[in-house]
Structure 1
Amino acid sequence: MRVVVITGASDGIGAEMARRIAAKQGGGVALVLAARSREALESVAGACDALGAQTLVCPTDVGVQAQCVALIDAAVAKFGRIDVLVNNAGRSAQALFEDVADLGWYEELMRINLWGSVWCTHAALPHLKASRGSIVAVSSLAGLVGVPGRTAYAATKFAMTGFFEALRIELNGAGVSVTTAYPGVVATKIRHRGFNAAGQQAGSSGLKEDGAMTVEECARLIVDGMNARKRDVVMTLQGKAGRFLKLVAPGLVDKLALAAVKDDVRPH
């Protein structure tokens, strides 16, 4: 049986990945679902159970190392192995750097987005090496191209990109694949629940969301990339073009990044 651990599994991309994997593999998969809300996790687990999967709900705050270790320990205690670790948990943020008075929430965001992935991966690595399994890191296009008003978020996602790129090379001979996914704007509420300049919940998105990718399509692309053990999953034409143009026309990329931000949150 394939054992898949998914952080940030209570809603959005993580929950949809869980449902998709359960629908595809049914009784051949065990899903270990982690997030802070037990109630929301139980709802996702119920849907996956109905599709034939086995599930384990593990309320977890990935911003706390001990809870990351406990998550991995619980997965191994229940199912005896780990085949896939999906580092999906994360939080967004939207604030112009000059408007931030207290940088404490920058540190908190880094702890959630980067360190949560690092801690979970470190705890799971011996088990993934034993199974010759897979690691998935859900970064963002903001981990490839900086976007104004998202200095904190981009910093965390660029850090994820660098960490998992280096780890991929380290694990090249161990049979463990590392797939980094780069979603663009996806139709979730992550930006509404992110930090604002005061370190409070933003309540709205600072990005233009016309034509946002559906959660279902985003989850499909990540799961397909995971199963194919791809290096990277860059999901949009704009993302692929931006990655190339950053090398040959960086000034143009800056203009495109600025154009993605709503007028009322642009630099003043």
Structure 2
Amino acid sequence: MTRVVVITGASDGIGAEMARQLAAREGAQVALVLGARGAPLLDTVAGQCQALGAQTLSVAFDAAIQEDCRRLIRAAMTRFGRIDVLINNAGRSAHALFEEVDDLGWYEELMRVNLWGSVWCTQAALPHLKDSRGSIVAVSSLAGLVGVPGRTAYCATKFALSGFFEALRVELAPSGVSVTVAYPGVVATRIRQRGFKARGEEAGVSALKEEKAMPVEECARLILAALARRQREVVMTAPGKLGRWLKLIAPGVVDRMARNAVKDDLQAQ
């Protein structure tokens, strides 16, 4: 039976790489429903997956719009008749000191993309996932575990995302639907350059130190391995794993680790 996997934020970065790896691994045994705002890039990824033998369906949608999320799931069901996996990957970054933000409108927009898009997609897909006893993946961030300076908006969205799916996992345990929360660190993608700055404009540069960024291929592989094992969560870096425990016994050390992750020349911006 062909496995149907819905991936949001699939036009670039982690989402696109997960799609390619699934296609390479499963070929004709997987059908990929790829959702994102950028239709041309989305079609390129779909073509790459088709060349590897996978069936694909590209759906241009905006995770910040509830009806678009519902439409994505309807399109998957209309085309393939089932959903086995939902990977909530769509998201946007941000970096700004809270005191420098005048208009909080983009905070609300970020919450719609990073939290509500995943909630809306999950609500629409849940009856079908229960039918297949399938799996949900939520791509959070280490910023969903530890507060990072300049990332109040982003941390708020990712902490909320993690909390929602932690609770949902417990609710869904009797149904046989697994929920995996992924916590990447700094990954070599363009998400930070495309994020918001203080006035809501596009950042253009990353505010984090990128020298040791994880290759996107490794990040995607770790998420898909956790999905295959139906793990509760996957924390992808040694500092992330250490920081989680240190937060309980030496929170000041974790604060310093968070400050050290931010470029020196951007800490005061």
Category of TM-score, reference length = shorter chain: over 0.9
Partner of 2:79: 78
**Which letter does structure 1 place at the counterpart of 2:258?**
A
Partner of 1:237: 238
Partner of 1:215: 216
Partner of 2:59: 58
Shift of 1:267: 3.8
**Which letter does structure 1 place at the counterpart of 2:110?**
L
Q: Is the 8 A contact 1:45 1:57 kept in 2?
A: yes
How far apart, CA to CA, are the structure 2 residues paired with 1:139 and 1:224? 16
Q: Is the 8 A contact 1:132 1:175 kept in 2?
A: yes
Q: Is the 8 A contact 1:188 1:215 kept in 2?
A: yes
The superposition leaves residues 141-186 of structure 1 with CA deviations (integer Å, 9 ceiling, x where unpaired) of 0000010000000000000000000000000100000000000000
Counterpart of 1:101 in 2: which secondary structure? coil
The superposition leaves residues 171-223 of structure 1 with CA deviations (integer Å, 9 ceiling, x where unpaired) of 01000000000000000010000000010100000001111000000000001
CA RMSD of aligned residues (A): 0.6
How far apart, CA to CA, are the structure 2 residues paired with 1:207 and 1:99? 18
Partner of 1:166: 167
How far apart, CA to CA, are the structure 1 residues paired with 2:72 and 2:261? 37
- 1:16 maps to 2:11: no
How far apart, CA to CA, are the structure 2 residues paired with 1:210 and 1:49? 33
Partner of 1:151: 152
How far apart, CA to CA, are the structure 1 residues paired with 2:171 and 2:66? 23
Partner of 1:91: 92
Give 5+ residue unaligned stretches, structure 2: none
The superposition leaves residues 27-84 of structure 1 with CA deviations (integer Å, 9 ceiling, x where unpaired) of 0000000000111111000000011100000001010000000000000000000000
How far apart, CA to CA, are the structure 1 residues paired with 2:100 and 2:264? 16
State TM-score, norm by structure 1.
0.99
How far apart, CA to CA, are the structure 1 residues paired with 2:149 and 2:268? 7
How high is the sequence identity, in percent, across the aligned residues?
71
How far apart, CA to CA, are the structure 2 residues paired with 1:173 and 1:257? 37
Which runs of structure 1 show a deviation greater than 3 angstroms over 4 or more consecutive aligned residues?
Answer: none
Counterpart of 1:32 in 2: which secondary structure? strand
How far apart, CA to CA, are the structure 2 residues paired with 1:217 and 1:80? 31
State TM-score, norm by structure 2.
0.99
The 5 Å alignment of 1:192-231 reads 192-231=193-232
Partner of 1:110: 111
Counterpart of 2:70 in 1: which secondary structure? helix
User: Aligned pair count?
Assistant: 268
Partner of 1:251: 252
Q: Is the 8 A contact 1:33 1:41 kept in 2?
A: yes
Shift of 1:19: 0.2
How far apart, CA to CA, are the structure 2 residues paired with 1:41 and 1:6? 11
How far apart, CA to CA, are the structure 2 residues paired with 1:37 and 1:114? 20
Shift of 1:260: 0.7
How far apart, CA to CA, are the structure 2 residues paired with 1:95 and 1:264? 13
The superposition leaves residues 118-144 of structure 1 with CA deviations (integer Å, 9 ceiling, x where unpaired) of 000000000000000000000000000
The superposition leaves residues 236-266 of structure 1 with CA deviations (integer Å, 9 ceiling, x where unpaired) of 0000000000001001100110011111221
